[in-house]
Structure 1
């Protein structure tokens, strides 16, 4: 019955499990599914951190490439305005995550490795939508292999990257 409820009405299953715990009816708990849920809970915050890091890194990469490679003579592209908001939001959410779960700080370097690879691929894809000349299209080697910035650096309020590090050919 509990397994069926878990699969057919998750919300009701959660309420039921909560009541069993509150009433100390431990023998009625759906332990197998509860254990699975607790395991999944431990994965949520690192995933959320990675998601916010990807967004922040995408915009930092696009900002840097557009500012110093594509349009070095322009003061500011109109597109940057929404990017600033997105970067601010990502930084704010990352700070909240770290305040709520300080132990995530120990996982930052590993999470950032994965986030940078995803951000780099997505930045290439997004930038190429607007580059019409085929010979100017970006590739994975348009950006450095590894993230050129530290987590602390990118988390600084209003921080923006300077001249790009030479990408690997």
Structure 2
């Protein structure tokens, strides 16, 4: 796939038409409002594919999807219960695992939640849960598109 190729697909959510742009080693979603967000570092996924193969990379990412789904649910509960120190730890775990697989938007949002929890800003942390979930879904879509081309 050329580094400038663009693939269209439908996504869930309020904005249903998005573009996945794979360029410069990153996978980006561009929504209908022309907001571009880097979700996945394609170079990092390509490195995983080189090291583990496509099947190995799928296994690694399947583990990431499962564990992150569980961590996001735990994070939401911890924030709802005002268990901010525990939530900061969970956000830190999400940040680290997301960074390890190149999920940059999720890693950044998790970092923001971690900072909010550490500073006692529970409302800010709560308001970031939706974006964290959206970024998680977007990362998965970008990954699926990227892996389909491998």
- Identify, as 1 or 2, the structure richer in strand: 2
The normalised TM-score by structure 2 is: 0.34
Larger radius of gyration: 1
TM-score, with normalisation over the residues of structure 1? Answer: 0.30
Which has the bigger relative contact order, CA under 8 A and spacing at least 6?
Answer: 1
Is the helix fraction higher in 1 or 2?
1
